[in-house]
Amino acid sequence: MIGPPDDNEHLVLLLSKELFRRGDAATREGSRFSHGIAVSHFHDAAETCARAAALKIRTPVKPEATFLEYWVKTNDWAEKQQLSVRLGRHAEMGDLNEARKYFKHRGKLTQPEYVVGYRATTHAFLVDTFRDFFLKDFDSISSVTFLRELRVRTKLEEAQNALAASDIKRR
């Protein structure tokens, strides 16, 4: 069974999104290491989300689990518990993991054309996992999403939408 949200779940989801956003920003930088840094951020975003998903369904996984163990343990546990949720894109996440290791441990710079793929794969993984495990839309999630006061949340969401549409009116 998928458990209720814990007190820190929203913070972990926001962290995952922020890490992805930082990786995305790094892809547009022109520094020598920016693409490797982007890969590291994408990896951290995916790992943060995968760990949160594992905890959401109460997967018995140790805190020191390796990156890809989250996919194996979570999916095995979900099958054993007869849950319909799964962490997807295992093979692609393995490629991302290798790219991070090559950059972090061997100093091998990541080629820009590969970073585009890692970004797309990580984004798709986050979208799917946020939707399937947390019933949230990754692309629209913000700290406003988690406000409990409906009237305040609605007003702030309206303001966010107006900013996104460049439709700001003076009042």
What is the predicted pLDDT for the residue at 32? 84
Tell me the fold of 9-140.
Answer: Four Helix Bundle (Hemerythrin (Met), subunit A) (1.20.120)
Residue 22: both structure tokens together? 């930082």
Phi first, then psi, for residue 130 (nearest 5°) are -60, -45
The tens digit of pLDDT for each residue in 123-171 reads: 999 999 999 999 999 988 876 665 567 676 677 667 767 766 776 664 4
The tens digit of pLDDT for each residue in 50-94 reads: 999 999 999 999 988 999 999 999 999 999 999 999 999 999 999
What is the predicted pLDDT for the residue at 162? 75
Sorted by where each begins, the domain ranges of the chain are: 9-140, 142-171
